[in-house]
Amino acid sequence: MTGDEKMKRMKELVQLLNKAGKAYYSESGEIMSNFEYDRLYDELKQLEQETGSVLSDSPTVHVGYEALSSLPKEAHEKPMLSLDKTKSVDTLIAWLGSQEALLSWKMDGLTVVLTYENGELQKAVTRGNGLIGEIVTNNARVFKNLPLHIPYKGKLILRGEAIITYSDFNRINEELPETEAKYKNPRNLCAGAVRQLNNKITEQRNVRFYAFALVQADGVDFKNSREEQFKWLASLGFTVVAYRRVTGATLPDAVSWFEKEIVKNDFPSDGLVLLLDDIAYGDSLGTTAKFPRNAMAFKWKDETADTTLRDVEWLASRTGLINPVAVFDEVELEGTKVRRASVHNVSIVESLKLGIGDTIRVFKANMIIPQIAENLTGSGTLPIPETCPVCGAKTVIREEGDVRTLYCPNPDCQAKHVKAFAHFASRDAMNIDGLSEMTLEKFIQSGFVHTFRDLYHLDRYRAEIVAMKGFGDKFFDNLMAAVEASRDTSITRVIYGFGIAGIGIATAHLIVDAIGQDPDRLMNATTGQLTAINGIGMTAAQAWTQFFADPVKRKDFEDVLAEVRLERETSSRQESVEGKTFVITGSVKHFANRSALRDLIVSMGGKVSGSVSSKTSYLINNDTESTSTKNQTAKKLGVPVISEDAFLKLAGREDLL
């Protein structure tokens, strides 16, 4: 390239990298992979070295981005610089020389600076742009593992990473209503949680803090050792990032140990940090304009493979988001065979300039998640779908910040009701073993299932299902056997399977007991007939009548009835207590106290818990229409709320009424 061409390319890279950095740091979004960012960043640094020029807004001299929320701002007492990085263990060894150092995880969350005075947490500030951050003290007070009071009474300043574990991330996503978009990754969720204006939300998200640097603690002798600082912080109650002490000779084995451990971690990390143990020597090295010289980051040297893009599947999810997934010729990465990789959103599709038949380079991010590193062809010929692949509705592109995503706006799209199909197939409903949410999502995305009745005709797609990854002939035969077995059922199970609001299995039992087992009489029941039943309130009665007044829902119900063989329920009032979990709340009328009712449940083989969860079978509350926290939680989780009378009938203990 000529000098002019190099300068033009530098300007392009600065603009692109700053845009990506803004999305990542200030907007909790992502428009390119870390691999792609690092590659472009390295290209920019090389061009700056070749030309001797550095643009004023280059990310190689500016750290982070201005925060855009309404949180108050504050300047850091000491600038927060990023770390120089390498993917070469040999480079780490050469940098370390004869010194000893601490090798630790480079955690992938949001960096926070904490200040304690007189043993109390006084202030918490985010990294921000490295010079000025946002004050998030109230949010830090609800971090799950952070000590609010410590025995050290001097001024203490430390830095650490706020993170959300993978298990909490998955739990939070699972608890979101189907209509809400799921969070993309723990880092984005954590960034939003730490920067909340309401710290109640922060507390609910189980943010944790891992200390990785001591900035100030006057009057303490650390014997000139960073490790002593870590041990001291741990003694005060802080969770310190896991580390290993290393020399140049032991460094390769230590890196290998971390490499093996990463797949076991419940927390996100994007590499390692090598920090000199000798405090005085490290400080004497000073800093560059961007990097401190006492530490270096190590990023995994991603194993890459070139392959051919064969297809991009656009998969509609229960949130309405339509996710692009690349399908390519199979390659081996990090010891496993890979042929699919998520592309995340329209912005990344466009930035990669994808087209079918392109030669792409793939890798595993953090050695776990397959991703496209770059497109070596860059044809840019891949069309963005104009209709939803599941329901056919016209798609829309939504823009949040600089991130463009594809959505299906149709509220009745089958992909948005995976949980409804899973409920229909659940044990207490139609009991179709083998139909997990993941399996149902694949069937719906493939167009095999549109209504509940379609579950009884999956045999039409035997060839397609058997060919799917993870399935096969045995799975299909077992599934068809379960579908056939589910045809012999009861009207109560069918009712419960349709998930009518407020109609749990116990309520369905009560209605069938009172109205009878004739489907026509049940579908035509009035609110007056229903509220006359002991234990049925107006809310449940209206939900019932509104459901069957909807011609589409009524037809779906009738279609399922045409597929099943209803068995006469000889004792629909009785249900085994054994193995079920109950929560008791409110006052009781047939027992001396709640403990007496608990003893009865335990004597019948049941369990009693103090809080409502997804594992709760029933919440017993004589005020079934209460808006108490337990009732609301039960409703959200689909746990039936039954009265004491209803419980005794179900348990076959009418003698106690």
Contact assessment for residue 191 and residue 139, using Cβ atoms and an 8 Å cutoff: no
Q: Which helix (H) or strand (E) holds 396?
A: strand 396-400
Q: 63: closest CA among 105, 28, 111, 29?
A: 111
Residue with tokens 């929320």: 69
Parallel, antiparallel or unpaired: strands 120-126 and 132-134: unpaired
| Plot region of 28 (φ>0 → left; ψ -120 to 50 → alpha; else → beta) | left
User: Who contacts 534 (Cβ-Cβ below 8 Å, separation ≥6)?
Assistant: 510, 643, 645
CA separation for the pair 418, 404 (Å, rounded)? 25
What is 190-206 written as a DSSP string?
A: HHHHHT-SSHHHHHHTT
CA separation for the pair 473, 479 (Å, rounded)? 10
Phi, psi (deg, nearest 5) at residue 214: -100, 125
Residue 182 known to be catalytic: no
Q: 642: closest CA among 654, 625, 627?
A: 625
Q: Considering the candidates 6, 19, 78, 106, report the single residue annotated as catalytic.
A: 106
What is 569-591 written as a DSSP string?
A: -TTTT----TT-EEEE-S--SSS
Q: Which helix (H) or strand (E) holds 443?
A: helix 437-445
Strands in 101-107's sheet, in edge-to-edge order, are: 85-86, 295-298, 269-276, 101-107, 243-246
Annotated catalytic residues are: 106
